[in-house]
Structure 1
Amino acid sequence: MLEFFVLVAVVLAGLVAAPVLFILGTVVLVRSSSDAGPSGGLRGVALLSAGGAAAAYLWGALHLLGAVLTTDDSGTDAFPIQPCREGGMARAETVVDHSVSFLPLRFTCELRAGGGYTVAVPGYVNPAVGVLGLAAVACGILAGAAGERSDRKRSPAP
């Protein structure tokens, strides 16, 4: 049940963070077009990359939330749990438990014989979050370095 509340909080945060980061990134890019230095453009790209990472994570969290919502169903069609049926009924009948991971986003169906398989979250989500997140960090670091370098050039030496 805790997984559900955490996922709802993550989805709500993502619904706010992704658009805000996209808007801020766009504003910074537009304003930096008149600036001679590269730091403003890099800051804008960093914010847009962070917005993309937040949007990709949100997309995966929505898939994960859907899977978690269907695991608590009860009744005649409750076993095997619905998300684990994506791996085929033969394999789903050997599922004994499931687990949810938030980093990386993953819904794992655990098998009786050991091991497990992942379902629900599209395979492209975690790599997209990783690449966009790294791009945001790299551009942010480069923007800071470029801004510091341009500040040194502008200030006169004592």
Structure 2
Amino acid sequence: MSKAPSSLAADSPDGIDSILLLFICLIGVIVIFTLVGMVGSGIAKRTGRPKTRAEWLGGIALLSVCATVALYIWGALHVMFMESYNMREECAKAGGEAKAAQVDRYSASYFPLRFTCRIDEGGSYDAAVPGYVNPAMGVAFALAIATGAVSVVARDQNRSTGPTVTRGR
């Protein structure tokens, strides 16, 4: 026996807590502003001399982390706003009215970001989170890791090949 469509819209998906997602989004915004401030500070401090490869790569790594966090926030907001009022409409948009009529519950996932419409016969399909969010977040994260690692290696090479200062008596 299935529920009436009006009661489906009032249900909340399994495993989603709006307060937690809102907190995650708030922390993400703080992280983004902090990292952008770090990049800006690094640029402002080094205006008189040319940037090293390590500095450029470190800045790209920080900006990639910002992109990853921003994409996560964007997807999390989609999931959070699905919880409140239009879950059935999004399920209908993603799978059609026939499938949406068979939906008996919803679930959501934080990683990867996903909002799932569960069909009473045991099937399911994803809705609401734009399809580009998770792949783009993965690419931005991989870029952050790669450029961060190369930046550290380049910085260590600069230190080992740079002039050594010895202090004698």
The TM-score, its normalising length taken from structure 1, stands at 0.83
Seq. identity, %: 32
Q: What is residue 67 of structure 1 aligned with on the other side?
A: 82
CA RMSD of aligned residues (A): 2.3
**How many residues get paired?**
150
Q: What is residue 86 of structure 1 aligned with on the other side?
A: 93
Q: 1:111 aligns with which of 109, 115, 119?
A: 119
- More relative contact order, 1 or 2 (CA 8 Å, 6+ apart): 2
* Amino acid of the structure 1 residue aligned with 2:73: L
What does 1:5-154 correspond to in 2, within 5 Å?
A: 5-29=19-43, 31=45, 34-70=49-85, 81-87=88-94, 88-154=96-162
Distance apart, 1:113 and its partner CA: 2.1
Cα deviation, 1:75-103, whole Å, max 9, x if unaligned, reads: xxxxx734322222211111121111011
Q: Which of structures 1 and 2 has the bigger CA Rg?
A: 2
Cα deviation, 1:95-144, whole Å, max 9, x if unaligned, reads: 12111101110000011222211111111111111111111111111111
Q: 5+ residue gaps in structure 2?
A: 1-11
- Is the Cα–Cα contact under 8 Å of residues 63 and 120 in structure 1 kept in the other structure? yes
* Amino acid of the structure 1 residue aligned with 2:72: Y
Distance apart, 1:31 and its partner CA: 4.4
Distance in 2, Cα, partners of 1:38 & 1:31: 16
Q: 5+ residue gaps in structure 1?
A: 72-79
Distance in 2, Cα, partners of 1:108 & 1:97: 9
Distance in 2, Cα, partners of 1:40 & 1:32: 10
- Is the Cα–Cα contact under 8 Å of residues 25 and 46 in structure 1 kept in the other structure? no
SS at match of 1:143: helix
The TM-score, its normalising length taken from structure 2, stands at 0.78
